[in-house]
């Protein structure tokens, strides 16, 4: 696995933990990592999405712009890609 792929996989795992916590464990990390389905199809509620936004912002020290379309919350890979695009690293820091 290349270094960028390993970094993205690590970030994907961390975000899966945050999603699972935001749902109080109703959606497991394993479901998130293996599914490929939308977060809502997996059972992530609107309240859990709000909790997830707060958790992501706190965990990575960023502010997610919710003024425009936020399709990046549709699924795990979209959120991970969005965070990577913002320079978020799996270790909690920013690459930028």
Reported as a single tens digit per residue, the pLDDT across 8-37 is: 899 999 999 999 999 999 999 999 999 789
Q: Assign 94 to helix, strand or coil.
A: strand
Query: In this predicted structure, what is the pLDDT of residue 96?
Result: 40
Residue at 29 is within a domain: yes
Looking up tokens 């707060």 gives: 54
Residue at 90 is within a domain: no
Domain that holds residue 56: 3-85
Query: In this predicted structure, what is the pLDDT of residue 94?
Result: 54
Averaged pLDDT score across all residues of the chain:
90
Residue at 54 is within a domain: yes
Residue at 91 is within a domain: no
CATH classification of the domain holding 26: 1.10.1200.10
Record the pTM: 0.88
Quickly state the pLDDT bin for 70 (edges 50, 70, 90).
confident
Number of domains in the chain: 1
In this structure, are residues 33 and 50 in contact, taking their beta carbons and an 8 Å threshold?
no
């Amino acid at each position: 696995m290349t270094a960028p792929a390993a970094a993205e996989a690590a970030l994907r795992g961390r975000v899966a933990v945050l999603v699972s916590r935001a749902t109080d464990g109703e959606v497991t990390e394993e479901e998130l990592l293996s599914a490929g389905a939308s977060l809502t199809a997996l059972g992530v509620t609107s309240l859990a999405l709000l909790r997830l936004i707060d958790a992501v912002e706190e965990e990575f020290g960023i502010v997610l712009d919710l003024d425009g379309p936020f399709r990046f919350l549709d699924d795990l890979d979209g959120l991970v890609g969005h965070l990577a695009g913002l320079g978020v690293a799996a270790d909690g820091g920013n690459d930028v």
